[in-house]
Structure 1
Amino acid sequence: MRLQEYGVGIFKAALTKSALKKVLKKKYVTVNDVVATSATFIHGGELISLSIPKHVSPSKTLILPLKVLFEDDYLSVIHKPAGILVSGNRFKTIANALPQNLNRSTLPDVTKPQPVHRLDYATTGLLLIGKTSSSIRALNQLFETKTITKTYYAVTIGDMDNEGILTSDIDGKSSVTIYKVLHSIASDRFGQLNLVKLEPKTGRRHQLRKHLASLGNPILGDKDYGIPHLILNGKGLYLHAYALSFEHPFTNKTMALKDEFPKRFLKLFPETIKALIA
């Protein structure tokens, strides 16, 4: 019998016929210590082995150093810089840079590190990463049950109420954001700039940017939802994912992580931010 027929189901790592064909094509299977192919015949008594390398280097490696703020065998939290996609079809993404920046998990269900939520291209701050299949599922569940607390800070344009709750439908789903203005300064160009604390209770696409724009107080540097004649070019989006708080799904420890403010925030609101992080 051909190995590609006989071998279906004998390895946990290649249970299906298509999975077996893949490992045969990659030369991970040997019969009596000889690399096997789909054409190899099995007569009986042979030693069939499957050996998957711990790490298979891609033909092209992305060199992008990332700041790692927390890491264990299950998950990691990193700083996402501005101007890079979290994931997608481009080569330069956070997802593609993770294997070179994180330690490989020693757990049995180790998988390629994967972001479990998104930050916009121009947004900076904390990004949560799963390192095993079970961890990715558990972290996704925390987001679905809204048991992860996220805190953002933004700089907005114009006069606005000191605090409030923003609600709307985004892409047919309800969205809720709580905001509080911490400090405001006068600006010749923008009239007024505000340092705003944001606590999203839902995670819709562009939620914070859309909610603030709907108030008439868009985020400074927002080219998509900003006021056309007040678009700030070349300085980036003033939106920062500052804090994450959740219960570790495997150690049950309370995780409370913070990421330092970008320098551009400090230039505008030095005393207020120093008081926040003191």
Structure 2
Amino acid sequence: MLPTETHSVPLQEKPIRLQDYGAGIFTKTPTKSALKKALKKELISVDGKIATTATFLYGHEVIIFREPPSLAPKKTLVFPLEVVYQDDYLAVIYKPAGILTSGNKFITVANALAQNLHSSTQEDKISPRPAHRLDYPTTGLLLIGKTNTALAALHQLFEHKTIAKTYFAVAIGAMKTQGTIQEPVDGKMAISSYEVLKTVPSERFQWLNLVKLSPKTGRRHQLRKHLASLNNPILGDKEYGTEPLILNGKGLYLHAYSLTFTHPFSQEKMTFTKALPSKFTKLFPDYGGF
């Protein structure tokens, strides 16, 4: 018998299309695109009938995904992740440098989540999925959704800017002690606030600054582009740094330090922090704020 996955639909406030509801409920359909492909191949049934993109869900339906022979068995990614927090709805994990958050590559945080997290007991559980992204070379905290409703709720929190994120970076050159950067990123307005916490002289870079960053928007590469726009690129940034001042071999000095938000189900205010990697503290050993 071919491998199958089963999902029970909780009662819906109003009917919803399967193509809008079903992304992430099965490990092989983590995105809407993958879901549509599975529907086109007639791999998904609802209450025993082959489902289509026009299938509506009302609640209490049983959705079954049957894996085709060409996809089974699938290689499993073995990649241990540090779990900072998890409950039945969401999780916070530490993303190391040198791994994609998600995408078409095999080695991604998204592909490693299921083996590192407890499965949700909720009816609308999904294969855990990141609710936002961190760049490939960036370290720090990543928020994960474990159910369909939780993931949607987390996306709403990000959209309404009610999740506070704090980053630390090491920036090159002479800087003002604080400021707000309002520069478009990819044609969209982007806002970042910064505060220089410590500055040390450097023979090669003149000055190195430990900078606390608070992005008010969430554009791709926003912090990296904003600091580069001040002529203070992040140390180790090969994409936005100045060629003579690019540091090789140490990675990008950008770390997602904290997340603060209200839990969408318990309504508890939650704050998580992750200490800076040792490469930061080696540059600023006398700074006592870590």
Using structure 2 for the length normalisation, give the TM-score: 0.78
Quick one: structure 1 residues 259 and 15, their matched pair in 2 at CA, closer, same or farther if it must change by over 3 Å? closer
Of residues 105, 116, 128 in structure 2, which corresponds to 1:90?
Answer: 105
1:107 aligns with 2:137: no
1:81 alignment counterpart:
96
> In the TM superposition, what are the counterparts of 1:70-219 in structure 2 within 5 Å?
70-219=85-234
Tell me how far apart the structure 2 counterparts of residues 262 and 80 of structure 1 sit (CA, whole Å).
12
Aligned equivalent of 1:6: none
Letter in 2 for 1:276: G
Q: 2:80 aligns with which of 58, 61, 65?
A: 65
Q: CA deviation at 1:70?
A: 0.4
Q: CA deviation at 1:202?
A: 0.3
Other-structure match for 1:42: none
Does the Cα contact within 8 Å between 2:94 and 2:140 map onto a contact in 1? yes
Partner of 2:274: 259
Shift of residue 169, structure 1, vs aligned partner:
1.0
Percent identical residues: 56
SS in 1 for 2:43: helix
Write the deviation string for residues 95-144 of structure 1: whole angstroms up to 9, x where unpaired.
Answer: 00000000000000000111011100000000000000000000000000
> C-alpha separation between the residues in 1 aligned to 2:130 and 2:192?
23
Specify the SS of the correspondent of 2:111. Answer: helix
Give 1:21 shift. Answer: 3.9
User: What corresponds to 2:289 in structure 1?
Assistant: 276
Once residues 258 and 159 of structure 1 are traced to their aligned partners in structure 2, the CA distance between those partners, rounded to angstroms, is 28
Identify unmatched segments of 5+ residues in structure 1.
1-10, 30-35, 38-48
1:237-273 per-position Cα deviation (integer Å, ceiling 9, x unaligned): 000000000000000001100011101001011221x
In structure 2, how many angstroms separate the alpha carbons of the residues matched to 1:267 and 1:117? 29
Q: Which segments of 5 or more consecutive residues in structure 2 lack a partner in the other structure?
A: 1-7, 11-16, 20-38, 51-61
Q: Distance in 1 between matches of 2:246 and 2:105?
A: 27
- Once superposed, what is the RMSD of the aligned Cα atoms? 2.7
Q: Does 1:229 align with 2:244?
A: yes
Take 1:253 and 1:19, find their aligned partners in 2: how far apart are those partners?
41
Q: Which has the larger radius of gyration?
A: 1
Aligned residues: 243
Amino acid paired to 2:199:
S
Whether the 8 Å CA contact 2:44–2:64 is kept in 1: the answer is no
Q: Which amino acid aligns with 1:22?
A: L
Q: CA deviation at 1:196?
A: 0.2
> What TM-score, normalized by structure 1, do the two folds share?
0.81
Residues 7-63 of structure 1, C-alpha deviation per residue, up to 9 Å, x if partnerless? xxxx969979x5994247xxx96xxxxxx99xxxxxxxxxxx98779xx99611000
In the alignment, which residue of structure 2 is the partner of 1:41?
none
Map 1:243-254 onto structure 2 (within 5 A).
243-254=258-269
Separation in structure 2 between the aligned mates of residue 105 and residue 242 of structure 1, nearest angstrom = 26
Query: What is the CA distance between 1:89 and its match in structure 2?
Result: 0.5
User: In the aligned structure 2, how far is the partner of 1:101 from the partner of 1:163?
Assistant: 39
Tell me how far apart the structure 1 counterparts of residues 273 and 205 of structure 2 sit (CA, whole Å).
Answer: 29
CA distance in 1, matches of 2:256, 2:78: 24
Counterpart in 1 of 2:43? 22
